[in-house]
Structure 1
Amino acid sequence: MHEQVALPHGWLQILLPLVIFGVIMAIRAPRLMRLRPLNVDRLWIVPAIYCGVVALIFVQRPPSVTGWGIAALGLLAGAALGWQRGKTMRIERDPATGQLMQKGSIWAIAFIAVLFALKTISQNEGGALHLDVTLLIDGLAALSLGVFSAQRLEMYLRATRLMKSAQV
């Protein structure tokens, strides 16, 4: 009789999303590292969509008092991380056209990868580590909202300062 060797329970649930994410990032990374136009008027769209997603998560399963506290901490931590991530994005003004241009950094890509890995591992292994998965989801949803919002706010403020200095 042949013995089957299997990954410990849950590891496939962790490994598969991480591999898929790695492949997607490998495909997208060159595009993210290219200089491309920055449309300042559209920076609000991703945070607004994600705010709706987080609101839906909280409406469908309202957090406990502890959950709201963890979500608030997640939002603050996410805002701090997002601000730093926003600072890693290069923004410049094309002298010929006056168009604002942006370029991601390898640190921004690494940052996304680390957050994704932490989120995947905590969601899949939270129960095994005797963590309340609902609290993890509340905190990680708010953390992500903070990251997306603060990153784009930092980029917006820097881009508008750059445009104003060019007009002087």
Structure 2
Amino acid sequence: MDQPPATLISYAITGFILAIVLAFRWRGMRRETLLRLERLWMLPAFYAALVAFVLTERPPSGTGWLWCGIALALGAALGWQRGRMMTIRVDPDSHALRQTSSPAATLFILALILLRQGARDGAVWLHLDLWTVTDALMALALGLIATQRLEMFLRGRRLLAAATLSRA
């Protein structure tokens, strides 16, 4: 009996998990959720601490730091764009911020996950250092998370200020 290669199983598992997660995300996407500006820093701070821990336990080589810097900058640009895709509005009665995730933002993350999977498998195929690829992908995710939250914070604060001025 022929066994499929491990990479095909890896792709199948990744695809199955992504399908389940996307099904749940897609269902709840139309629903508005409360956006608390004071909590937007928590996830980036936690992830930055995690990345710092990983990078101090096994620091990249000289060129590895360069790749991490490039990935961080790329993640920052992608995160800013993803943050702009989120719909944020001010509730006129309560002045609470509400956010709605856009389908484009979810598909954007799906594309990044597929890119990550391809880069991980491509690293093996191209005989790249897997630790460097892992460090760079963690830096990309850090840039993405931090700047998405920063963009949402700045836009939310600006919307609240405009709503407060228009009410006065």
Distance 1:56 1:18, change over 3 A: farther
Following the alignment from structure 2 to structure 1, what is the Cα–Cα distance between the partners of residues 67 and 35?
A: 34
Q: Give the match for residue 39 of structure 1.
A: 36
Q: Give the match for residue 79 of structure 2.
A: 82
Q: Give the match for residue 66 of structure 2.
A: 69
Q: Give the match for residue 14 of structure 1.
A: 11
Number of residues of Structure 1 aligned to a counterpart in Structure 2: 165
Q: Give the match for residue 99 of structure 2.
A: 102
Query: Greater shift after overlay, 83-92 or 47-56?
Result: 47-56
Partner SS, residue 92 of structure 1: strand
Partner SS, residue 98 of structure 2: strand
Following the alignment from structure 1 to structure 2, what is the Cα–Cα distance between the partners of residues 156 and 56?
A: 26
Structure 1 unaligned runs (5+)?
Answer: none
Q: Give the match for residue 144 of structure 2.
A: 147
TM-score by length of structure 1 reads 0.92
Distance 1:74 1:115, change over 3 A: same
Once the two structures are superposed, what CA deviation does each residue of 1:7-66 show, in whole Å capped at 9, x if it has no partner? 234221232123212211211222233211100100001101110111121012111111
Following the alignment from structure 2 to structure 1, what is the Cα–Cα distance between the partners of residues 30 and 114?
A: 21
Following the alignment from structure 1 to structure 2, what is the Cα–Cα distance between the partners of residues 102 and 28?
A: 14
Query: Greater shift after overlay, 120-129 or 136-145?
Result: 120-129
Structure 2 unaligned runs (5+)?
Answer: none
Distance 1:60 1:124, change over 3 A: farther
Q: For 2:48, which of 34, 48, 51 is the aligned residue? A: 51
Partner SS, residue 127 of structure 1: helix
Aligned-pair CA distance for 1:82: 0.2
Q: For 1:159, which of 129, 132, 156 is the aligned residue? A: 156
Aligned-pair CA distance for 1:124: 3.9
| Larger helix share, 1 or 2 | 2
Q: Over aligned residue pairs, what C-alpha RMSD do you find? A: 1.4
Give me the identity figure in percent. 38
Following the alignment from structure 2 to structure 1, what is the Cα–Cα distance between the partners of residues 130 and 11?
A: 15
Aligned-pair CA distance for 1:76: 0.3
Partner SS, residue 26 of structure 1: helix
Q: Is the 8 A contact 1:18 1:120 kept in 2?
A: no
Aligned-pair CA distance for 1:101: 0.2
Following the alignment from structure 1 to structure 2, what is the Cα–Cα distance between the partners of residues 18 and 129?
A: 23
Partner SS, residue 124 of structure 2: coil
The answer on 1:137 being equivalent to 2:134 is yes
Q: For 2:22, which of 5, 11, 25 is the aligned residue? A: 25
Once the two structures are superposed, what CA deviation does each residue of 1:131-166 show, in whole Å capped at 9, x if it has no partner? 221121111100000000000000000000001111
TM-score by length of structure 2 reads 0.92
